[in-house]
């Protein structure tokens, strides 16, 4: 069985500062999204169950991927394809799906394509569906349980108010929900061995695309702004005796409708 896992590095949301309602991304470390880790963990679990399987990670990002990719390789991936060319920067969801599809087609062999249902930063949830369309494959989304057997997958989908059980023949695209598993922490020896696993860096030409067909040049959606919500603070400072401040705070909250009488 050949499994492809699509992953994305993103800024650590816990370390992003906001200034003038804009995110400051300078010097913010890059991490794998939680759902990306769920995707690679599920691939590793399937490999452990079926025995004969190869996991290839396809990741788009900066040159920092060379170091960051060690984590998914240590979690069970056998090799990695890194899409680090600056021409890929600024891709929208459809552009990202096109690049991933071309890379997967070049890999050639794939029974399962697994990715998170959305990225932790933008969370558009569009890449998986666009990728399935471009590869002309069926797709099962929001998967919280997955079983692969006899050339078929059986999946339980999380529909918020209900669960849905569906079945599809391989090959198929799967987008996983966070409930599907608990990603492992790779051990030290696994991380050391990960450095010896094959890593390939591909640019647009390697996957049959020109620079005009990727990144900002090919984006179908223009980002007009990326601003944090406005916060209208009253900046009321309560001074005096502690008991008086507490009474004044309660009165103020009642007047604002935060507390009922």
For residue range 73-116, what is the model confidence (pLDDT) as tens digits?
A: 999 999 999 998 888 888 888 889 999 999 999 999 899 999 99
**The predicted structure's pLDDT at residue 157:** 93
CA dist 157 and 167 (Å) reads 11
State the average pLDDT over residues 220-224: 74
**Is pLDDT above 70 for 61?**
yes
> Do 63 and 163 fall into the same domain?
yes
Q: Which stretches within 51-135 are classed as H helix?
A: 65-68, 70-74, 93-107, 127-135
- Residue 87, in any domain of the structure: yes
Instruction: Show the domain range for 250.
Output: 231-261
Q: How confident is the model at residue 216 (pLDDT cuts 50, 70, 90)?
A: confident
> Do 237 and 142 fall into the same domain?
no
- Residue 12, in any domain of the structure: yes
- Residue 65, in any domain of the structure: yes
- Residue 111, in any domain of the structure: yes
> Do 56 and 147 fall into the same domain?
yes
Neighbours of 20 (CB within 10 A): 7
Q: Which helix (H) or strand (E) holds 163?
A: strand 163-169
Please name which of 203, 5, 221 lies closest in space to residue 88, comparing C-alpha atoms.
203
Helix (H, G, I), strand (E, B), or coil: what is residue 141?
Answer: strand
- Residue 204, in any domain of the structure: yes
> Do 92 and 167 fall into the same domain?
yes
**The predicted structure's pLDDT at residue 158:** 85
CA dist 161 and 17 (Å) reads 35
Cβ contact 53:1 at 8 Å: yes
Cβ contact 8:39 at 8 Å: no
- Residue 226, in any domain of the structure: no
> Do 56 and 124 fall into the same domain?
yes
**The predicted structure's pLDDT at residue 71:** 93
> Do 93 and 186 fall into the same domain?
yes
- Residue 223, in any domain of the structure: no
> Do 7 and 97 fall into the same domain?
yes
> Do 253 and 163 fall into the same domain?
no
CA dist 203 and 63 (Å) reads 12
- Residue 186, in any domain of the structure: yes
> Do 6 and 96 fall into the same domain?
yes
The number of distinct structural domains making up the chain is 2
CATH number (domain holding residue 73): 3.40.50.620
> Do 259 and 193 fall into the same domain?
no
**The predicted structure's pLDDT at residue 261:** 66
> Do 139 and 206 fall into the same domain?
yes
- Tokens, residue 85: 């060319």
Residue count of the chain, please give it: 261
CA dist 104 and 110 (Å) reads 8
| Averaged pLDDT of the chain | 88
> Do 156 and 254 fall into the same domain?
no
């Amino acid at each position: 069985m050949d499994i492809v896992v699509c992953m994305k590095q993103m800024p650590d949301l816990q370390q992003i500062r906001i200034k003038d309602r804009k995110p400051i991304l300078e010097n913010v470390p890059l991490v794998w999204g939680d759902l990306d880790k769920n995707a690679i963990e599920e691939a590793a679990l399937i490999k452990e169950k079926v025995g004969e399987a190869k996991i290839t990670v396809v990741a788009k990002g900066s040159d920092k991927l060379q170091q960051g990719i060690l984590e998914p390789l240590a979690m069970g991936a056998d090799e990695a394809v890194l899409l680090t060319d600056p021409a890929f920067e600024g891709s929208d969801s459809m552009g990202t799906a096109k690049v991933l599809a071309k890379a997967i087609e070049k890999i050639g062999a794939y029974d399962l394509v697994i990715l998170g249902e959305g990225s932790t930063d933008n969370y558009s949830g569009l890449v998986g569906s666009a990728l399935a369309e471009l590869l002309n494959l069926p797709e099962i989304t929001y998967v919280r349980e997955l079983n692969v057997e006899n050339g078929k997958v059986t999946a339980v989908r999380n529909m918020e108010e209900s669960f849905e059980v569906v079945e599809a023949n391989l090959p198929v695209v799967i987008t996983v929900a966070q409930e599907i598993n608990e990603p492992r922490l790779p051990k030290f020896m696994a991380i050391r061995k990960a450095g010896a696993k094959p890593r390939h860096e591909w640019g647009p030409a390697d996957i049959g695309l020109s620079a005009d067909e990727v990144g900002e040049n090919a984006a179908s959606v223009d980002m007009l702004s990326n601003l944090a919500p406005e916060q209208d603070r009253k900046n009321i400072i309560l001074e005096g005796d502690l008991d008086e401040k507490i009474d004044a705070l309660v009165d103020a909250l009642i007047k604002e409708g935060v507390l009922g009488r």
